[in-house]
Structure 1
Amino acid sequence: MRSVLLSIMLVLAVAPVLGQADDDVATLREQALVAMRRSTAYFTDHVALRGGYVYYYSLDLQTRWGEGRASETQVWVQPPGTPAVGLAYLAAYDATGEQQFLDAATATAQPLLFGQLKSGGWSHAIDFDPKGGRSGDYRNGQGRGKNYSTLDDSTTQTALLFLMRLDQAHQFKQPEIHEAAQFGLEALLKAQFPNGAFPQVWAGPVADQPVLPAAYPKYDWKTEHRIKEYWNLYTLNDDLAGDITPTLLAAAEIYNDERPRTALRKLGDFLILAQMPEPQPAWAQQYNYDMHPCWARKFEPPAITGHESQDAIRTLMAVYRLTGDEKYLRPIPAALKYLRSCELSDGQLARFYELRTNRPLYMTKDYQLTYDDASVPTHYGWKQRHQLDKLEQEYKLMQAGESTHKPRSIRSLSADARKILRELDDQGRWVSVVSGGRVTGQPKFGDVREYLSSEDFSENLTRLAEFVAASQ
């Protein structure tokens, strides 16, 4: 999903590099525009529920899935749900200036306005039924659930990013959208701890805690097990740092506000503090207020994490791009060297490495710690491909003062556009096929073999917008 959001952010920055006949590009551009209009019309007219979206739909639109089956009154905030689709509409509007796409984006904001919590952010889903299973303590008084704004899986980050971009597209002249974006931004800034960390969840401004460097726990962490309300602690799990970065950058740019820039610098300061000492100079998923790696869910032990450590490195480089301060690059060489030493025999990284011993750490199906990955729970990514080569290259470019972003050529963008156009059916749909692999939310499709995907729609619309912007 991050690749989709990054593409959306880059639409206006695409530089055309002409290498084909202008007539061919012009013809393809017109075809792309027609496809963008048709697919948007289908999604807004037939798929949306009060402007909102879930992850997947049966082709007859009678069955809807978010993380599990969605009721007829529920839409999803967590990407690739409602705000991710809204950002794709904005990418199309930015590339074309056509009112249809701005209207689609504005309609997509309506469920987010309805479902904004009193704490300022959003939960994973919105339920229009006050008695529904996913109802929340909404600002509008039409819900009676919990008041937990979440940064898990880029939920509040993406909702706020979308509303701020939409506020900008309307030139700040839509009071309801502007007020919701400002309220959400204020709440997000107040959810940052003095050391720069963010919790996974908040219900109000966070309490002050001492600013300390990371350290190994001096107690037997294996006997501690899951911590109650771990979501209140310092969190890096599921790329929280990397997901919040574009939201803070956008807030600073859109509103010419120095506070989000300061918040991002503070986040970088936290990552410096949170880097573990030798012999494991990387990061954990979660830290307690004493800055010890700690338990979260029952399958997330205190450990060094291969995945989130890479996100920490990416975030430090983003903070360096913002500030030019070399201190944000200093933790990176030791972290990269350490992570290289952690590669498994199959070239992957384990999600967890045991504190001090550095042995890859897993869980059995009944959630007991083990060093054996032969029989692990299938709902979690215990081993993953890494991006160390890419991170090392980006770090070297930064050291040399060279740009880390290279615009795609018009030839490459055109090839993408042609493929996407071929896959659009006569109803204006991109129909996805069940492949048997793991998909976001892990829906149980049953006998369904074909379905509609909000993620595929957003990605395809954004790629077409990228081509259209580059071919003007």
Structure 2
Amino acid sequence: MSLRSCVTAVALVAVQCSWAATPGRCEQPPTREQALDALRAAAGFFSERVAIQGGYVYHYSLDLQQRWGEGPAGQDLVWVQPPGTPSVGMALLRAYDATGDRYFLTAARRAADALVYGQVRSGGWSNKIDVSGMRRGQQHEGGQRRAAGRSSLDDGQTQSAIEFLIRVDQALDFNDQPIHDAARLALDSLLAAQFPNGGFPQVWKGAVEPRPVVAANYPHYDWRTEGRIKEYWDLYTLNDNVCGYVADALIAAHKIYDDPRYETALQRLGDFLILAQMPAPQRGWAQQYNEQMEPAWARAFEPPAVASDETQEAVETLLKIAAATADNRYLEPIPAALDYLQQSLLTDGRLARFYELETNRPLYMTRNGRQYSLTYDDSQLPSHYAFKIPARLPTLQTRYRAALQGADPPAVPPRRIAQRAAAIVAGLDQQGRWVSVYHGGRLVGQPKFQSGQPYLSSLVFCRNVRVLCDYLETAAF
């Protein structure tokens, strides 16, 4: 499940002031010392009390006895998929960059060690790592799924680990050999998993087989009943922002290692997105494509269709690639895609996740146990999946116009960063925790929380740390 698709009500908890009894307290920007103290306290609690062998999951009970990733997580499991171990590690590394305090680098290094331990034989990562062997002193033996050797790009699993490791490698001056070797092995494996057309599968065990390079087109068969395959993870995949996460990893790799292979792979990824844009009348992208570059089935509730979330993510990825390569060719698909999304808006301003091929009718699913059925009726949608999503058109249009002019996207005003920082410092409790309270909505990992239940969130920790770092770098103290 895409991290963005979750209703992250916890983000509101993260920036609301918990000291309502003290009028105006949230409005006063924190001093540099207050921001640094909050950063150190929060990082100390998370890295010393919350972490298991340097790794993290998504959510925790306040007593840290219960842990959740995608479902309950035992005391020997840590999560790779964001916002798990790489995400928390990146936040700690961001704190080191903003402060120069090596405490944060040491904490980030422990997270990197957990990822090195969990790297699978095919060079990447799966969604979680069993770190029980680390307790026994085993070195880099991998978790329970190491024997399977499957590397996954789903929801940024391998990509987030790669980006974090190469940034830690740089911060350590490339002197930590296991971290350096793991990062380079992962990048080599990622390049080997790139298809000739520049796309990627969701999962791989080794180098991919050659396939013909063709442009996207509509199926010439009854896609409602035909074309389903079990191994959909071998298809060309955009679902859950596979391409966006890959682009981030390749951009960082080229910048840090100055290896032209990574820029070439990034350009080929952009070429794939150009090829994968559907022809008129639906100038968007699908979640996945078969070898003939026709939209294809994945899970039982993910039909061949033009997918609005993946279309928005494809636009964002093309913007990244155009900026990183200084090649405006990657901007050319964007106007037609934005026009298509604008024309596809629902009456409430949102977008259907799926639009029927060629007719562009919003397409939904009903559920009866494990059986899913296609429908145009949105009155009984399953709750486990985002069949309607927010439209991000104003932001995408602004970013596209800025890219055409060679300008950076608009930055968050310092005053707003200061306001957020004030609320974040105020919301930290005496133990160094930002406590969230569940009030409904879909959280990443979909834990079964009760309304009013307090919990700790890795996502909130990461967001708050980033805001405090932004504040330290932009405030005029």
Q: CA deviation at 1:326?
A: 3.1
Partner deviation per Cα, 1:299-350 (whole Å, 9 max, x = no partner): 0000001110111111112222123333222211211111111111111111
Distance, in Å, in 2 between the alignment partners of 1:228 and 1:91 is 40
Aligned residues of 1:129 and 1:143 also touching (Cα < 8 A): no
- 1:459 and 2:463 matched: yes
Q: CA deviation at 1:41?
A: 1.1
Which of 28, 42, 45 is matched with 1:42 structurally? 45
- 1:75 and 2:59 matched: no
Distance 1:255 1:432, change over 3 A: same
Distance 1:49 1:304, change over 3 A: same
- 1:421 and 2:425 matched: yes
Matches for 1:195-214 after TM superposition, within 5 Å: 195-214=197-216
2:401 corresponds to which residue?
Answer: 396
1:375 corresponds to which residue?
Answer: 380
2:339 corresponds to which residue?
Answer: 337
Matches for 1:93-108 after TM superposition, within 5 Å: 93-108=96-111
Partner deviation per Cα, 1:260-305 (whole Å, 9 max, x = no partner): 1111110110011111111111110000011110000000000001
- 1:439 and 2:462 matched: no
Aligned residues of 2:399 and 2:409 also touching (Cα < 8 A): no
Which of 239, 242, 247 is matched with 2:241 structurally? 239
- 1:283 and 2:288 matched: no
Q: CA deviation at 1:142?
A: 5.8
Aligned residues of 2:130 and 2:142 also touching (Cα < 8 A): no
- 1:120 and 2:123 matched: yes
- Which residue identity is paired with 2:381? V
Which shows bigger deviation, 139-148 or 108-117?
139-148
- Which residue identity is paired with 2:417? L
Distance, in Å, in 2 between the alignment partners of 1:450 and 1:461 is 20
What fraction of aligned residue pairs are identical, expressed as a percent? 53
- 1:186 and 2:188 matched: yes
Aligned residues of 2:93 and 2:168 also touching (Cα < 8 A): yes
Distance 1:412 1:142, change over 3 A: closer
SS at match of 1:126: strand
Aligned residues of 1:226 and 1:297 also touching (Cα < 8 A): no
Aligned residues of 1:225 and 1:301 also touching (Cα < 8 A): no
What RMSD in Å do the two structures reach over aligned CA positions?
A: 1.8
- Which residue identity is paired with 1:87? M
Q: CA deviation at 1:447?
A: 7.7
Aligned residues of 1:68 and 1:441 also touching (Cα < 8 A): yes
- Which residue identity is paired with 2:168? L
1:87 corresponds to which residue?
Answer: 90
Partner deviation per Cα, 1:164-184 (whole Å, 9 max, x = no partner): 000000010111111111111
- Which residue identity is paired with 1:381? A
Partner deviation per Cα, 1:355-387 (whole Å, 9 max, x = no partner): 111111111113101111111111111011111
Aligned residues of 1:417 and 1:464 also touching (Cα < 8 A): yes
Distance, in Å, in 2 between the alignment partners of 1:402 and 1:30 is 37
Partner deviation per Cα, 1:384-431 (whole Å, 9 max, x = no partner): 1111122122222222x2413233343222211111010000111111
Distance, in Å, in 2 between the alignment partners of 1:448 and 1:44 is 26
1:270 corresponds to which residue?
Answer: 272
SS at match of 1:452: strand
Distance 1:2 1:263, change over 3 A: farther
Q: CA deviation at 1:111?
A: 1.3
Distance 1:68 1:142, change over 3 A: closer
Aligned residues of 2:297 and 2:303 also touching (Cα < 8 A): yes
Aligned residues of 2:151 and 2:204 also touching (Cα < 8 A): yes
Distance, in Å, in 2 between the alignment partners of 1:301 and 1:254 is 39
Q: CA deviation at 1:146?
A: 2.1
Partner deviation per Cα, 1:437-465 (whole Å, 9 max, x = no partner): 11001101358711111111111112111
Distance 1:32 1:162, change over 3 A: same
SS at match of 2:251: helix
Q: CA deviation at 1:109?
A: 1.2
Distance, in Å, in 2 between the alignment partners of 1:467 and 1:345 is 38
Distance, in Å, in 1 between the alignment partners of 2:4 and 2:101 is 26
Aligned residues of 1:117 and 1:139 also touching (Cα < 8 A): no
Distance 1:2 1:32, change over 3 A: farther
| Count of residues in correspondence between the two structures | 443
- 1:140 and 2:159 matched: no
Distance, in Å, in 2 between the alignment partners of 1:142 and 1:296 is 27
SS at match of 1:262: helix
Q: CA deviation at 1:140?
A: 2.2
Aligned residues of 1:118 and 1:139 also touching (Cα < 8 A): no
- Which residue identity is paired with 1:291? M
SS at match of 1:179: helix
SS at match of 2:230: coil
Distance, in Å, in 2 between the alignment partners of 1:77 and 1:323 is 29
Distance, in Å, in 1 between the alignment partners of 2:94 and 2:317 is 24
Q: CA deviation at 1:154?
A: 0.8
SS at match of 2:342: helix
Question: What TM-score does the superposition give when structure 1 sets the normalisation length?
Answer: 0.90
Distance, in Å, in 2 between the alignment partners of 1:294 and 1:139 is 38
- 1:311 and 2:316 matched: no
- Which residue identity is paired with 1:121? G
Q: CA deviation at 1:2?
A: 6.9
Distance 1:317 1:451, change over 3 A: same
SS at match of 1:65: strand
Distance 1:408 1:391, change over 3 A: closer
Which of 109, 114, 118 is matched with 1:111 structurally? 114
SS at match of 1:49: coil
